[in-house]
Structure formats: C-alpha cells, structure tokens
Chains A and B, each alone.
Chain A
Amino acid sequence: MTAEAWTFVFIIGTFSAYLYIGWWARVRESSGFYVAGQGVPALANGAATAADWMSAASFISMAGLISFMGYDGSIYLMGWTGGYVLLALLLAPYLRKFGKYTVPDFVGDRYYSDTARVVAVICALFVSLTYVAGQMRGVGIVFSRFLGVDIVWGVVIGMFIVAFFAVLGGMKGITWTQVAQYFVLIIAFLIPAIAISLQLTGIPVPQAAFVTSDIVEKLNAIQIDLGFHEYTQPFTGKTKLDVLCITLALMAGTAGLPHVIVRFYTVKNVRAARYSAGWALLFIALLYTTAPALAAFARYNLITSLHGQEIDQVRELEWVQSWEATGLLAFVDKDGDGKLTFAPGEAFLVSNAVRSNEPDMTNANEIYFDRDIIVLSTPEVAQLSPWVIALVAAGGLAAALSTAAGLLLVISSSIAHDLYFRMLNPGANERQRVLVGRIFVIAGILVAGYFGINPPGFVGQVVAFAFGLAAASFFPVILLGIFDARTNREGAIAGMLVGLLFTVSYIVGGKYFGMPDWCFGISAEGIGAVGMLLNIAVTIGISRVTPAPPEHIQQLVNEIRLPAHPGVAQVLDEGHE
C-alpha cells in the first residue's frame, strides 16, 4: 500500500473514533457542557491537558525550530514545560476549589467587579482566537501535504469534525476525544524518533541516545567545520537576558492560558487537580524530551546525507524527490562544482519571510530546508514503511484538532457563560445556557475556519502576543487573587491595564512602527515577563493605598485556600494534630 492510501485509512480510522466518542459523550446540562460535569479522573485529565496544550506547532514545528536554533531553542523546551510547575503549585488547586466554569468567573467574582470580568473576557477571546486560527491552518496544511487535497477542503473537513464533538459533547466530548488524540499524537511522534535514534546510535530510547551517544559531539565538530557555531553553544542568536525573559514569559503565559486552566476545572476535587497537573506534564515531557534528541539527530542526518554529495546522486533519493517537489527542500549549485555545500546564510533570496527561487550569492550555502521538514520527513529519511508516514499525518491532525477544540470551548464559554449568563441574562435556564453555548461553538468554528483559509499575515507574530498577554494579565491577577488577600478591585484593574498596555504597545511598536527594543534589548517575545512584573508591582502598590476588599471576599479567599468543602471546616475546627 502507498503512503497516501495508508494516510487515507488512518485519517478515516482516527476521525471515526473521534466522532464515535463525541456521540457517546453528548451532554444536556450546562455543567457537562462547560466543565465535563467535574468528574474527569486525574490521569485522563492529564492526557487531555497534554493534547489540549500540544498544538500543531509543538508537533510539527518545534523540533525543527530547535534544530535550527541549537541551544537557543531551549526557550521553548523550558518555557512550555516550566509553566506547569507554576500552574500546579500556584493556580490549579485553588481555581478547582473555587469551582466555577471559566477564568473570567474567577476574576469577576474575586475582584467583585464586572469591569474586571469584561477585561478578562476580552483577553480570553483575543488569546484564543489568535491561537485557533493557527490550528485550523495546521489542519489544512497536513491535508494538502499528505493527501493532495486543497487546503480549503482540508480546513472544512477539520471544521466539521471539531464541530461535531464540541457541539454535541461540549467539554465532556472534548475531554474524551483529547484523551484519544493524545495517544495518536504521541505514538506518531515517538515511532519515527525511536527509529532514527536506533539507526544513528543503536539505542532505542531517544532521550538516552541524546545524552550517551556521540552524535551531538560529532554535530558540534561538523558545525565548526562548516563555519557555524557549535550546536550546544549558548546565546548565539539571542542575548542571555533575552533568553531569560522569553523563557519566563512563556512559562507564565502557559500557566495563564485560559484553555489550559479550564481543564483543571473538570476534575473531581483539589487533590485530583494537583495530580493531574503532574500527569499532564509527564505526558507532555514524553514529547518535549524527545524533541531535542530528534532535532539534533535529524540535523546531523540531513547535513551528512547532503553536504559534499553530488547533486545528481542526491536527487536520486526518493525522499529528496518528494520533498523537493513541495518546495520545502531546494538546492542550487552556486559554484558550479556539481556538489552540494552547506554553509551559514540563506541559499535563496528571502523577502518578507518568503523564499524566492533566486540564489543569494552573498554566501556559499546551496541547501535550503524548511524547518517543518525535520519532523515530517524523518520517517522517509529513516526509510520507515509507508504506514509510519501516514501515522505522522494522523498525529499532526490529532495535535491540531485537540488544541482547536479546547480553544473553541473557551471562546464559546467566554461569550455564552461570562457575557450572556453572568451579565446579560442571569435568569437563563439550563436549556438556554447549553443552547447559547452550542451556538457560539459554531460561531467560533466559522471564524476559526475563515482565518484558517485566509490566514491574516500576522499569525506568526501574534504568538508572542498570546503569551505576552496571558503572562502580563491573567497570571498575576489570579496569583495575587489567591496568595494576597489584601489585593482589591482597584489594584487588580490598574495592574491588568498597566501590564496589558505596556506589553501591547511594546509589541505593536516594535513590529509595526520600527520602535527599537528600548527595554534592555528585550525582544517582543520576552517582553511579557516585564509586563508581568509591572502588573504585580502596580497591583500590590495600588491595593495598599485603596480600601481593603469587603468581608465576603476575605471569606472567599479563605475558602479557596482550603482543599475540602465547607463541611470540612467543622472537622478542621475540632481537629487535633
């Protein structure tokens, strides 16, 4: 069977499974729709969170990015995992105890203010819409690359699948499909990585091969020979301060992303929230510790199989032919010696991040490869059977669809729960609430699909936005709401506004108005860390000079600090050590 036929089989198979789960998990009540009835076991929630969190970018692009950046790629590895420590220790258990449906719920209730609630809704919508557009695009790209279907049709099929289980099952349907999607995506990521590790080092565990084999050492030597920095050399593309700030912003941003936080509302109790954060990170770490190994191995493999080889011979390789046809891999013989040279610099002229076919004659590099190739081409380069290639396609789709579904639910609940039910029509009954929720899932899918088909030019750049905003707004406001009982409405609103305005103006000013990175050379990606610190300072300062929060808020804070339900207060009262 050809790779295309296998891909077809895998996609039909996995999609039928998602549809079946969606049908099985259909719900009627609003608590089922928004928080899966708060009955998800810790382990299952861990797997669902991992799939929710790992997007098309984690699956397809991250290893490739690291492969190009070397040490500097660590910002993604540490930044996108370290946030779970913050989430597990500082936010998730208390938000679960608070026990409502959304992040704006907490912000609005804790700060006894609808203004704060609306600011939170706007942030949640902005962050989630930004993110979901990229996911639908990812779905379209996988379809077009692996099945030769038009991107538009790929996006439409993806929209239909997500709509089916999100509309029918709400959070419950999303949760159980995400559990299934986690297993599809992790198997699809690990099999090629294990194969390439075996092939290069004879060790079947990529994490162990990364540390104990001499591949990284050899790669360092090759890099120096070809005129690059050593692969492991730190701070070649970014300053130390910038690496520090980006890592911190990604960590705090991860902990503050609404679609991740809301997953911890779905478990049974506070204890389950603590453990499920651990399971989530364990499941995520399986991919995130494999990625740096894959990045180094694939780079080594690509360089050794291309550099210094005769162009005609290279073009006889099957995987070279198929990837050259997509334009993601390209060669040019600049010096006319009939051999390929890999060197620093771009092989072709690049304008507005788009590669042209004109060779860039200012450097000696004759090989262009797109960073997405690292993951997508591994099975072919490692000469694995066609079904593995198909599995990678199914894995990429699982990663994109699971993240899209989680985001769509945040979009829907921000409007249907936070705006409609909490502010416009508090008397709405169960049926109306679920109906409005379903309508806005569909509306969200249509918007996401539109952006997937017509991607706004800024999608790549707004990722910095999403994390910067979450780090500079949600993270501090929730953290202080739990750990500083004195933080009041005035402080929280002032802090959020200062954090947001500073971060937004720095990113927009830098990207669109040519403003230099005036804040110690920190880039747009890392400025959220500074915005977060500003937010915390302003919130604490303003809170201390304005009236303390009312008595019932003090009680709310006490309540969320205790893991068990109010009845236990009695036990605690009589308790003895």
Chain B
Amino acid sequence: MSPELSARLQKYWRANERLIVVLLVIWAAVSFGAGILFVEQLNTISFFGLPFGFFMAQQGSIFVFVVLIFAYAIGMDRLDRRYHADED
C-alpha cells in the first residue's frame, strides 16, 4: 500500500471514528444518562403527564436509537462519496 493511500485511509478512518464517538455519546446520554443515572431528577419534569426520566427509559431512548443508526448510515454515505470509497 502506497504511503499516500495509507495516509488517505487514515484520514477516512479518523473521520469515521469521530462520527462514531459523537453518536455513541448521544446513545449513552439518552439511555445510561437520562434513563438510569439521572432518572430521579428528570422524573420531576413532566412530559405530557409522564415523568420524563421514565419516558426516556421506556420509549424515548428507543426512538433516539433508531435515529442514530440512520444518521450514521447517511453520514457514512457522505464520507464514502468524499473519499470515493462508495460502492457502485
């Protein structure tokens, strides 16, 4: 593998890792953060009548998970195009 190619691969990979870290921070914040660690504090806030922490633990986090996966797929589509690494 040429040094130039491996430098480009490195850049591509760093960009991928950055996107993953951002999305995983959100993933942990909505589930472990809002749903478990800070659930008591958030339960004092009412979300249409449901305690907000409880809502995040039972439904809210799941909706966010779905969005995160599609956000990753779309983000990687753009990255692949930029690096010409997309498949036909």
A binds B: yes
Cα of A271 to Cα of B69 in the assembled complex, Å: 12
Please tell me if the beta carbons of A563 and B36 are within 8 angstroms of each other in the complex: no
Interchain CB contact (< 8 A) of B73 among A74, A90, A271, A569: A271
Residues of B within 8 A of A37 (CB): none
User: From A211, which residue of chain B is reached at the shortest CB distance?
Assistant: B48
Please indicate the chain B residues that have their CB under 8 angstroms from the CB of A181 in the complex. Answer: none
- What mask results when residues 6 to 39 of chain B are scored 1 for a CB within 8 Å of chain A, else 0? 1011001100110010011001000110011101
Chain A positions 537 through 577: 1 when the CB is less than 8 Å from some CB of chain B, otherwise 0: 00000000000000000010010011111001101110101
CA distance A77 to B62 in the complex (A): 8
Decide: B9 and A562 in contact? CB cutoff 8 A.
yes
A281 to B53, CA, bound (A): 22
B78 nearest CB across to chain A (Å): 12
Chain A, range 77-120, C-beta contacts under 8 Å to B:
77-78, 81-82, 84-85, 88-90, 93
Q: Which applies to chain A's interface (DSSP): helix, strand, loop or mixed? A: helix
Q: Does A403 contact B (CB under 8 A)?
A: no
The interface bits of chain B over 33-52 (1 if a CB of A lies within 8 angstroms of the residue's CB, else 0) are 00111011001000111110
A217 touches B83 (CB 8 A): no
Residue of A with least CB distance to B28: A82
> Which residue of the partner chain, among A66, A81, A214, A564, contacts B65 with CB atoms under 8 Å?
A81
For B69, give its contact among A214, A234, A278 (CB under 8 Å).
A278
Report if A285 contacts B (CB, 8 A): yes
> Shortest CB–CB separation between residue A276 and chain B, in angstroms?
9
A269 at the interface (CB under 8 A from B): yes
Interface of B is mostly: helix
C-alpha spacing A555/B9, complex, angstroms: 12
Residue of B nearest to A230 (CB): B51
Find chain A residues with CB under 8 A from B76 CB. 93, 271, 274, 563
Interface hub of B8, B47, B62, B85 (most chain A Cβ within 10 A): B62
**In the complex, chain A residues whose CB is within 8 Å of the CB of B53:** 234
Q: Is the CB of B35 within 8 A of A74?
A: yes
Q: How far is the CB of B45 from chain A (nearest CB, A)?
A: 12
- Listed in ascending order, the chain A residues whose CB lies under 8 Å from chain B are 66, 71, 73-74, 77-78, 81-82, 84-85, 88-90, 93, 207, 210-214, 216-217, 232, 234, 240, 243-244, 247-248, 269-271, 274-275, 277-278, 281-282, 285, 288-289, 292, 483, 555, 558, 561-565, 568-569, 571-573, 575, 577
User: Does the CB pair B65–A82 fall under 8 Å?
Assistant: yes
- Does A275 lie within 8 Å of B73, measured CB to CB? yes
Are A572 and B84 in contact (CB-based, < 8 A)? yes
Please determine whether A211 and B37 come into contact, CB atoms closer than 8 angstroms: no
* Chain A residues whose C-beta falls within 8 Å of the C-beta of B16 in the assembled complex: 561
Q: In the complex, A496 Cα to B86 Cα: how many Å?
A: 34
The answer to whether A89 touches B72, judged by C-beta atoms less than 8 angstroms apart, is yes
B87 contacts A278, CB within 8 Å? no
Is A85 within 8 A of B68, CB to CB?
yes
B69/A212 in contact, CB under 8 A: no
Given A77-B62, A84-B65, A555-B1, 10 further pairs, Cβ under 8 A: A89-B23, A211-B50, A216-B50, A275-B70, A278-B73, A285-B63, A292-B59, A558-B1, A558-B9, A573-B2
Query: Given contacts A216-B50, A282-B66, A572-B5, are A82 and B31 in contact (CB under 8 A)?
Result: yes
Contact, CB under 8 Å: A569 / B36: no
Cross-chain contact A82 with B27 (CB below 8 angstroms):
yes
Pair A89/B20 contact, Cβ less than 8 Å:
yes
Contact partner, A212, options B48, B80, B83, Cβ 8 Å: B48
Q: In the complex, A274 Cα to B83 Cα: how many Å? A: 18
Nearest opposing residue in chain A for B20, CB measure: A89
B87 touches A211 (CB 8 A): no
Question: Pick the contact of B61 from A78, A207, A213, A244 — CB < 8 Å?
Answer: A78
Q: How far is the CB of A101 from chain B (nearest CB, A)?
A: 21
Query: With contacts A74-B35, A269-B87, A564-B85 known, is A82 near B63, CB below 8 A?
Result: no
Most buried by B among A78, A81, A561, A568: A78
Would you call B58 and A90 a contact (CB within 8 A)?
Answer: no
Q: Are B83 and A575 in contact (CB under 8 A)?
A: yes
List of B residues within 8 angstroms of A562 by Cβ = 9, 12, 85
Compute how far the CA of A577 lies from the CA of B8 in the bound complex, rounded to whole angstroms: 10
26 A–B contacts, CB within 8 A, in A order: A66-B58, A73-B58, A77-B59, A81-B62, A85-B27, A85-B68, A213-B49, A240-B37, A248-B32, A271-B80, A274-B69, A274-B76, A277-B73, A278-B73, A285-B62, A285-B63, A288-B62, A292-B59, A483-B17, A562-B9, A563-B76, A563-B85, A569-B1, A572-B85, A573-B8, A577-B82
Given A216-B50, A563-B85, A572 contacting B9 (CB threshold 8 A): yes
Contact flag A234-B40 (CB < 8 Å), given A85-B69, A247-B32, A568-B85: yes
**Contact of B5 with A90 in the complex, beta carbons under 8 Å:** no
A555 to chain B, nearest CB (A): 7
User: Are B40 and A281 in contact, with the CB atoms below 8 A?
Assistant: no
Q: Is the beta-carbon distance between B85 and A573 smaller than 8 angstroms?
A: no
B contact residues around A274 at 8 Å (CB) = 69, 72-73, 76
For the complex formed, measure the closest distance between the CB of B3 and the CB atoms of chain A, giving whole angstroms: 11
Q: In the complex the two chains form, is B23's CB within 8 Å of A281's CB? A: no
In the complex, A577 Cα to B47 Cα: how many Å? Answer: 46
Chain A residues, Cβ within 8 Å of B80: 271, 563-564
A71-B57, A247-B31 known; A85-B73 Cβ under 8 A: no
Closest B residue by C-beta to A485 = B13
Known: A282-B66, A555-B1. A82 touches B61 (CB 8 A): yes
Q: In the complex the two chains form, what is the Cα distance from A532 to B77 in whole Å?
A: 31
Query: What 3 A-B pairs have minimum CB-CB distances, sorted nearest first?
Result: A74-B57, A274-B73, A278-B69
Whether the Cβ atoms of B8 and A572 lie closer than 8 Å is: yes
Bound-state Cα–Cα, A288 to B61, Å = 11
* Contact, CB under 8 Å: B69 / A210: no
